[in-house]
Chain A
Amino acid sequence: DADVTQTPRNRITKTGKRIMLECSQTKGHDRMYWYRQDPGLGLQLIYYSFDVKDINKGEISDGYSVSRQAQAKFSLSLESAIPNQTALYFCATSDPGAGAGDGELFFGEGSRLTVL
């Protein structure tokens, strides 16, 4: 089945370290997103990309950067991790032209990051 895959699934790191979370998809979707989930705060958009040459900031982009290496790959980097970036991170894809509403979001399984 076509899917959205995130690596690593779990990561513990120390303050100041550089971390990269990777996302790859076999759905053939152009749109890709990175969300952060904290308890009681829902899903907050970090960055999104509508095609390989398009990168846009979301609600909480400070402290994060992204790279869209190909249609199928979208990576999230924390240049210098800090403890309040401890959270569950989700990658998602969508294809508004697929007929599923105005673009159902298909989420990966999540990457749990702990910054000590």
Chain B
Amino acid sequence: GENVEQHPSTLSVQEGDSAVIKCTYSDSASNYFPWYKQELGKRPQLIIDIRSNVGEKKDQRIAVTLNKTAKHFSLHITETQPEDSAVYFCAASFYGQNFVFGPGTRLSVLP
């Protein structure tokens, strides 16, 4: 079955700097890759996603890149702000079935 690895497990950045979180997946059939943000004590919420027919997708300060050949995808956050502090999860699935999540990255944005 699918296996998703995520690095780093913790990440601290200064406010205004960029943050990058990387994920690798094992099943080449996976074709949908969402990212979820979970603030402390809250439920996970989708922040951005990408399909396998696209190499990059941007939404304001957030971007995701996908390398199908290497089977890895990354989340990029620019101009980080304190409200970006949270745990971020990547996931992989085949047409939205059986989402397999990475272990999460705890991002801390320091003022």
Contacts and interface: CB of A to CB of B under 8 A. Distances in A.
Given A96-B95, A101-B34, A40 B103 contact: yes
B100 A101 contact: no
- Provide the main secondary structure of the chain B interface: strand
A45 B46 CA distance: 17
B93 interface: yes
Contacts of A94: 96
A81 B102 CA distance: 26
Interface in B85-103: 89, 91, 93, 95-103
A43 B44 contact: yes
Given A42-B4, A43-B44, A104-B49, 10 more contacts: A40-B9, A40-B103, A42-B6, A42-B103, A43-B101, A100-B46, A101-B49, A102-B31, A102-B49, A102-B51
- Chain A interface size, as a band, is 20 to 34
B75 to A, nearest CB: 15
Interface in B1-52: 1, 4, 6, 9, 31-32, 34, 36, 42-46, 49, 51
Given A90-B44, A104-B34, A107-B43, A96 B101 contact: no
